[in-house]
Structure 1
Amino acid sequence: MSTSRLHAFTDDAMGDLDATGIAARIAAGEVTAREVVAAAIARAERVGPSLGAFACTDFERALAACDNLPSGPFTGVPTAIKDNTGACGLPTQCGTATFEAAPATVDGEFSRQLLDAGMVALGKSRLPEFAFNITTEFTDKEPARNPWDTGRSTGGSSGGAAALVAAGIVPIAHATDAGGSIRIPAAACGLVGLKPSRGRTLVDAGDRIMPVKVAVQGVLSRSVRDTARVMAEAERRYRNPALPPIRAVEGAGRTRLRIGVVTTSPTGSSFDAPTRASIDASIALLTGLGHRVEETTLPVPADYWDTFGKYLGLFTFAFKHNGRRMFGPDFDHRKLENNTRGLADLFRRNAARTPQMLYRLRRIGRQYVGMFTRYDVLLSPVVGHITPELGYHSPAQEFESWFERVVSYDCLAPLNNISGTPAISLPLHAADSGIPLGALFAAAPGDERTLLELAFELEEASPWRRITD
């Protein structure tokens, strides 16, 4: 299959504006919310089928919502809700063929915040089965495709959301992250992707019972100001007293930061040449801005992913063996993808050592957090190599091959989930082929403000490439 860029940007009510810009036009009376949502629907109908990024849509419902929108910072802005989170009236299929979901009767807690801020959901975005893959691909269904190169992965698990935002169908989309699922798609699709601190945003009930709470909710966007504005609105509606406030962040900070640069993979795999070049480019950019930069290494065991994989397997094991109780009597575990079954079997073989596994994860988290006694920010690549072609992380392959490739590629991002630290992927670089390469910046628990101020500074100093260029 030939590959190409594919986007929906055109001269309509949305133009090439971000969510903040669109909301400002609506508030000023230059366009109406209905005109904006109709434009987004037209884009979705034109480009969406080729991208494979929607799990389901309800365009009539979206247009009807325009008649009675709440007043908020994003009133009239079209979006999509990730298909592992409730959106009233739409099914939550979780990317799996193991059961048939009925329409949800309530919204998820964080998605409700987005809708209360005035956003209008066109539908649900696709994810791999139960979010347990770093690509949005399936054994017997078409994948979600990367708008920058339709032969490449969108990343995962928020791959459908990333494709919709990168292609210009919506300016911002809901996403979740339990091991890189916001930041990997952001890196693959040239977007801004912030994984908040543990406890910063509301999570759904299933995530609250995790022994080590790795999952968080957030958004994918094309601008730092959109992400910062979402975080400010989320904090206005829910403030965790255990974390320092972020407050409104509207520009670069003045403090010059101590930045540690991770130049080698903690899992022992090698970064490819484009990724190594992106690290050098980030160092040059930060040094030129006056930040104090030095190379460092992470004090975590090389086999940390083995422990993390067993932990993920705890949940796939629960899905496999308790699916009927969790998802309904029609749940059929025989339809699970290879990678889901493989993770479940990985846990089963090690189930007796679960207490040690949890202790080890918490110790790894403390080791990582300890880095912030020396540094304000850690910089690394988001992933170990350039975004692969479709099929490389396919769930159709044998589990052992899939797992080895995942560990090599997603070698850094899970550390922020294990430790509860915030981290943001910024689209600072690109390979010679033009495919985006993200830079990952992490900070101490609760310090999203530093990350957002640095992100504003970098966006101004080195503006992102546009898919329309």
Structure 2
Amino acid sequence: MSASDAPKTANTFTNDALGNDDATALAERIRRRDVSISEVTQAAIARLHKAEPLVHGVVAERYQQMLETAAKLDSKSDLAEAPFFTGVPTFIKDNTNVAGMPTRQGSAAVPAGHLVKHTSPFAEQMLAQGYLCMGKTTMPEFGFNASTEPVHDAPTRNPWNLAYSSGASSGGAAALVASGAVPIAHANDGGGSIRIPAAVCGLIGLKPSRGRVIENDASKSLPIDILSDGVVTRTVRDTANFIYEAERYYRNPKLPSIGKVEGPSGKPMRIGLVIDSINGHKTDDTTRRVVEATARKLEAQGHHLEPVDTPANSSFPDDFAMYWGLLAFGMKLNGRKITHPGFDKRQVDGLTQGLDRMFKRGFLKMPAVLWRLRRARFEFAEAMSAYDAVLTPVLGHTTPKLGHLSSKVPFDTLFERLTQYANFTPLANVTGTPAISIPMAMTPENLPVSVQLMSKFGDERTLLELAFALESEFSPWATAEYSHA
């Protein structure tokens, strides 16, 4: 096959047991016995075999085990009392433990072949909804990068255009869902790692409020817990149903209940509008136009939009960069305790090394940095007191080609590129507030462009209601031409 004949997209949608269904429709067909779980699992495996050579989103699989599990579930006489998503295929990200599978965190520094003995509490919360875990998804080393291009492995490619990044750090999850291999997959977010891959792959990506779901394994050790777990999906209702089912399993009494969200609220809201980042980098023209067009759509729906300053202190970008460096320093220092006794810090990639050096140069600033970052949630809450939500870009510019954010790029250049690109998402992590990525347009290169909505702590319901309304205006899945060969 010549280069000109090589596939430019990865599209596995076809007339099989999965069809074009989202996770909700698939779960409902399984419950009605319109399709067997074995048929669904076989279809997912066939799609994965088709997608994987193109996108490379899988680092470990257990397809045969899930076929056996599917057969056992099919033998049950009644699924009426089974969890809602019973039989729906999914994946767990490679930084979250699933018993009997490896967890390498996307890093060559973590030895291959070691199978963990215990499933993490969040993975238990997710899998209790009935999903079949087909395996583990790719990610950049320790989730530090905004593109899934580990130096020791092939890059994960964007299914809409294989020359481009799938985002990160949940890049493998997003690539598998966008390609149609599975309808929903686990993702987590320490600085944008749910929303960034969702944004560039045309998916819905909700970062929940801090404490909404059971905390990530690493959360307990962090001076400021910036981590949240969730999913990437092709429809708003899948995300809404996931968070509803997660809350049925574990309900945090310190947060207001979200409940079941099934569409727009219809009530007018006051929404702030932010176009440019406070780190001084101007948003590119394409992204700017999409955010402004989204603002007009929201106004047409009856909402009031007005420009606002970014609800954060001007020192926030530098402070977050130092915290980012602290995480790299901590991983190099404590990698054997955090990951595996065979952890080899000499094998970490250039980004981890550079962040570690950056932290060491400025570590004396950390007490003040941590004080300001802890204050950020109060400053955000005060700034949001007059608003129901804030509309921003997800990213500073459209999706880059593979290589632009590779960890092989010299650190100073790569870090500058990352601060120009992933400059809107970290605020929600530090403040603990919910934020959602919603696709709103396509570029001439056939790549999605998305917007971000942020709301008050504990108010995921508002974000889901607004997302439902915007989904009715645009969805890449409503117009995509799927092959049914």
- TM-score (ref. length: structure 1): 0.97
Among residues 28, 42, 52, which one is paired with 2:56 in the alignment?
Answer: 52
Q: Give matches, 1:118-197, under 5 Å.
A: 118-197=130-209
Contact 2:441–2:474 under 8 Å retained in 1 = no
Matched, 1:364 2:368: no
Q: Which residue of structure 1 aligns with residue 299 of structure 2?
A: 287
Deviates more, 1:319-328 or 1:74-83: 319-328
What residue is the counterpart of 2:224 in the other structure?
Answer: 212
Structure 2 residue 105 is the aligned partner of structure 1 residue 94: yes
Tell me how far apart the structure 2 counterparts of residues 325 and 297 of structure 1 sit (CA, whole Å): 42
Identity rate of aligned residues, in percent?
Answer: 43
Measure the CA separation in 1 of the matches of 2:99 and 2:334: 25
Aligned pair partner of 2:39 in 32, 35, 41? 35
- How far the C-alpha of 1:68 sits from its partner, in A, is 4.0
**Which stretch has the larger CA shift, 426-435 or 338-347?**
426-435
Tell me the CA shift for residue 333 of structure 1: 1.0
Alignment match of 2:87 (pick from 65, 76, 100): 76
Task: Check if 1:117 corresponds to 2:129.
Answer: yes
Partner SS for 1:225: helix
- Given that 1:263 and 1:297 are in contact with CA atoms closer than 8 Å, whether structure 2 keeps it comes out as no
SS state at 2:439 partner: strand
Q: Deviations over 1:207-232 (max 9, x none)?
A: 12211110000000000110000101
Q: CA deviation at 1:453?
A: 1.0
Q: Which residue of 1 aligns with 2:11?
A: 7
Residues 328 and 87 of structure 1, relative CA distance in 2, 3 Å threshold: closer
Residue 298 in structure 1 maps to residue 298 in structure 2: no
Q: After superposition, where does 1:327-366 map in structure 2 within 5 Å?
A: 327-366=339-378
Q: After superposition, what is the alpha-carbon deviation per residue over 1:263-311, rounded to whole angstroms, capped at 9, x for unaligned?
A: 2221110111111110121011111111111111114344422211211
The 2-side partners of 1:276 and 1:467 are apart by: 24
1:106 to 82, 98, 118: 118
Q: Distance in 2 between matches of 1:135 and 1:302?
A: 26
Change (3 A) 1:140 1:97: closer
Q: CA offset at residue 85 of structure 1?
A: 0.2
2:480 and 2:399 map into 1 onto residues whose CA distance is 16
Rounded to whole Å, the distance in 1 between the matches of 2:292 and 2:197 is 22
Deviation by residue 1:80-132 (Cα, 9 ceiling, x = unmatched)? 00000011211001100012151122212122122111100111000000111
Letter in 2 for 1:468: E
Contact 1:138 1:396 in 2 (8 A): no
User: 2: CA distance between counterparts of 1:326 and 1:297?
Assistant: 38
Q: Give the C-alpha shift of residue 429 in structure 1.
A: 1.5
Give SS of 2:210's match.
Answer: coil
2:250 counterpart residue number = 238
Q: Counterpart of 1:308 in 2: which secondary structure?
A: helix
CA distance, structure 2, for counterparts of residue 58 and residue 199 of structure 1? 30
Moved more, 4-13 or 296-305: 296-305
TM-score, length-normalised on structure 2?
Answer: 0.94
User: Which sits farther off after the overlay, 201-210 or 422-431?
Assistant: 201-210
Answer with 245-254 or 367-376: which moved more. Answer: 367-376
Q: Is the contact between residue 369 and residue 421 of structure 1 (CA under 8 Å) also seen in structure 2?
A: no
Measured in 1, the distance between the counterparts of 2:20 and 2:217 equals 36
Contact between 2:139 and 2:150, CA under 8 Å: does it hold in 1? no
> Post-superposition shift, 1:362?
1.6
Q: Is the 8 A contact 1:268 1:302 kept in 2?
A: no
Task: Give the secondary structure class of the aligned counterpart of 1:48.
Answer: helix
Output the CA distance in 2 between the equivalents of 1:239 and 1:327: 29
SS at structure 2 position matched to 1:176: strand
Instruction: Give the SS at the match of 1:37.
Output: helix
User: 2: CA distance between counterparts of 1:393 and 1:151?
Assistant: 13
> Is the CA contact 2:216–2:227 (under 8 Å) kept in the aligned structure 1?
no
Is the Cα contact below 8 Å between 1:127 and 1:156 reproduced in 2? yes
SS of match in other structure, 2:162: coil
Deviation for aligned residue 1:141: 2.2
Counterpart check, 1:223 vs 2:239: no
Q: In structure 1, give the amino acid aligned to 2:62.
A: D
Aligned equivalent of 2:447, options 428, 435, 440? 435
For residues 133 and 53 of structure 1, the distance between their equivalents in structure 2, rounded to whole angstroms, comes to 16
Once the two structures are superposed, residues 378-403 of structure 1 have per-residue CA deviations (whole angstroms, 9 ceiling, x without a partner) of: 00110000000001111011111111
Q: Deviations over 1:139-182 (max 9, x none)?
A: 24210000000000000000000000000000000000010000
Cross-structure match for 1:464: 476
1:467 CA displacement: 4.0
Question: What's the counterpart of residue 318 of structure 1?
Answer: 330
Distance in 2 (CA, whole Å) between partners of 1:245 and 1:330 is 42
Distance in 2 (CA, whole Å) between partners of 1:139 and 1:461 is: 39
1:259 to 258, 271, 286: 271
2:320 match: 308
5+ long unaligned stretches in structure 2: 74-78
1:34 partner letter? S
Cα distance in 2 between the residues matched to 1:436 and 1:370: 33
User: Who is 1:18 aligned against?
Assistant: 22
Letter in 1 for 2:417: R
Q: What is the count of residue pairs matched by the alignment?
A: 469
Q: For residues 204 and 336 of structure 1, what CA distance do their matches in structure 2 show?
A: 22
Mark the runs of 5 or more structure 1 residues left unpaired by the alignment.
none
